[in-house]
Chain A
Amino acid sequence: MIEVKNVSKEFIKIDNKKKKSKFLADDSVSFKVNDGEILGLLGPNGAGKTTLLRIIAGIMEPTKGKVIIADKDLKDNEIELKKQMAFLSGNTKLYKDISCVELLKMCAAYYKMDKNIIDKRINEVVKRFDMDSFKNQRIGNLSTGQTQRVGVSRCVIHDPHYYILDEATSGLDIISSQVILDFIKEERDKGKCIIYSTHYMEEAENICNRVVLINKGKVIAIGTPKEIEKETNTTNIRDAFFKLIGGAK
């Protein structure tokens, strides 16, 4: 289980006149994600989703609040917990001058995987994401869809329990997106704990057990898509979101 407790993140903004001002990217955000659940994190660009996910993934520190994973404080057990986590974002890029297999070997080494099982695990992952035809090609020579598959495969090489996925299907065609979405559902069914951020509301409605709507750094609703639609008296999450922020459709 992942528990986000009153997490706030403050940044310093510098305007054109070089005047500094503080702003909260995330403001007292709290929620829980259970094992065997996909929690959708929904909100427009600049809502604070990426910052929040970076905090949960342990690559940024919160200004206030804490993240508890498997009953352990992330701050005090960062390295240990990171070994069970996978972070995939549309922004994270891969090393272009190495092949998929070389990348997977490097990741396996960072995750301290047993040397005897690395090759076997790489073969499994290559097979799972249908990468056999390009596994020895340099990543820089692959198509966007192939690269994203390599990106996912590097996340799963160590068989993590916690997935933090930030707009993982952003910019992909429907076939490549479906490969990733199917994988996420499979992992959920295996009892894994998944946070899935997207600004595609319909996509979230289809795969998420529950969703957190976030706007301007604040949580504005939490629940199953049906519960939120019922509360807001709407028929879909998109309409519910606009109703909650009081904006136009």
Chain B
Amino acid sequence: MDWSNIKITIFKELRGIVRDKKSFHKLLLLPLLIPFIIFLFGFLSDFMENSNYDVGINYTLSKEEKEILKKYDNIDFKVYKDDKELKEAYDNGEISGYIIKNDINYIIYTDQSLNSGAMIDYYASTYLEEYSRLKANQYLVDNNIDPNLVFNSITYSSESLAEEETDSMFIVLLSLPITYVLMIVVMACVTVATDATSGEKERGTLETILTFPVNSSDLVTGKYLATAILGLAIGLFSYLLTLPSIYVCSYIFESFKDLTITINFKIIFLALIVIVISTLLSAGVCIALSGKAKTYKEAQSSLQFVSFLPMIPYFVKIMEVDNKIFNLVPIANCGMALNDITMNKFDMNSLIIIFISTIFYIVLILIYISKQYKSEKTLFG
């Protein structure tokens, strides 16, 4: 290994990327979207929870119904004469849904593809359920039957097993920006690796550099490290934007109120390790795959799927799959670890498996690319 040649190659590759203004600005813009995404998510969550919904009805609310509906302060009922007027009011946008009562039958009309429709359906069903229960209660009392004997023949309650009470769906949604951090790392690696390998081949500069007194292994190490350095810089920048953004949002937005983000040395240290090893692996995978391609375009298309690997943990979280097996899936396992570390819900054994497996993959990929760059097929296409 000739470190001076490696340093020259790293500098050459990084200078190339920084001077390619389009690619460089794109890489800088991606992390800057993170605070925006988190703030937007907080704002929309609050907005949805605090929105008022106008609901049309073709009947007059009874005293009991009014009493029940006092709890639903974000629903306003408007009385219309008949079905025709309700439909017209809905079509004109005066109301977001309506309920038609016919004798003892209530039909709730909403468009559930819209958030307002889903919310109205939920609130209206809950209120009618409660009203139905009240009516049944009254009937039983009128007939001298103890309602408890009918409705409370058994009792039940729920107790949370979670260490901290946080909505699981909320955590899943919050894992999106963390997943995005690793996607940005991979995207940065893809940009540098394609430019350093197939880009150099396509521009005809690879032959120039091969005439210099440089070993192909020094050359590929320089290209690999340049890819990793930029990926790491972008990854750390993204993560450092993510943590404070979530932290600040937990003070600003109501819906983030229950979320506990612990920022301490241990969490930051573990997160940094995960970002470093995932970057080293992503850089290796990108160099290996793009080195095989003859053109820049071919390299980009062969690397597209790598950008989606960090999405796997997100789906694993949504599906609530037992994720032990995913600890061995390269890049995806790092996404999972970063999620768990950020939420301070990590299992040290899983982290150790992830670290060891990733280091193993890094070694394998480095052996592969050092051999690949001795092949004339790779160098000359």
Contact = CB atoms under 8 A, between A and B. Distances in A.
B92 interface: no
Contact of B212 (A54, A60, A91, A107): A107
B29 to A, nearest CB: 20
Interface stretch (B199-207, B307-315, B326-334): B199-207
Interface residues of A, number: 30
Interface string A40-63: 000000000000001001111100
B208 A93 contact: yes
Interface stretch (B8-16, B141-149, B184-192, B229-237): B8-16
B93 interface: no
Interface in A78-106: 78-80, 82-83, 85-87, 89, 91-98, 106
A156 to B, nearest CB: 13
B214 interface: yes
B207 A89 contact: yes
A94 B200 CA distance: 10
Nearest to B5: A110
A109 B211 contact: no
Contacts of A86: 211
A112 interface: yes
B265 to A, nearest CB: 40
A82 B212 contact: yes
B213 A95 contact: no
Nearest to A164: B211
Nearest to B203: A93
**From DSSP, what is the main secondary structure of chain B's interface residues?**
helix
A59 B4 contact: no
Contact of B210 (A59, A79, A94, A96): A59
Interface residues of B, number: 22
B205 A95 contact: yes
Given A89-B207, A93-B203, A94-B205, A111 B212 contact: yes
Contacts of B213: 78-80, 82-83, 110-112
B207 to A, nearest CB: 5
Nearest to A105: B8
Contacts of B19: 97-98
B211 A59 contact: yes
A82 B204 contact: no
A61 B374 CA distance: 10
B372 to A, nearest CB: 15
Contacts of A80: 213
Contacts of A110: 5, 8, 212-214
A92 B212 CA distance: 12
Contact of A97 (B4, B16, B210, B376): B16
Contact of A92 (B20, B208, B215): B208
Nearest to A93: B204
B12 to A, nearest CB: 6
For A58, A61, A85, A110, which residue has the most chain B Cβ atoms within 10 angstroms? A110
A79 B211 CA distance: 10
A112 B204 CA distance: 23
Contact of B376 (A60, A95, A106): A60
A112 B4 contact: yes
Given A82-B213, A110-B214, A94 B208 contact: yes
Given A60-B376, A82-B213, A106-B12, A92 B207 contact: yes
Contacts of A107: 212
A93 B214 CA distance: 18
Residue in B4, B12, B15, B212 with the greatest tally of chain A CB atoms within 10 Å:
B212
Interface in B108-140: none
Interface in A26-46: none
Contacts of A154: 208
A79 B214 CA distance: 7
Contacts of A93: 203-205, 207-208
A158 to B, nearest CB: 9
Contacts of A78: 213
B295 to A, nearest CB: 15
Nearest to A107: B212
Contacts of B16: 95, 97
14 contacts: A57-B211, A58-B211, A60-B376, A89-B207, A92-B204, A93-B207, A97-B19, A98-B15, A106-B8, A110-B5, A110-B213, A112-B4, A112-B213, A154-B208
Interface of A: 54, 57-61, 78-80, 82-83, 85-87, 89, 91-98, 106-107, 109-112, 154
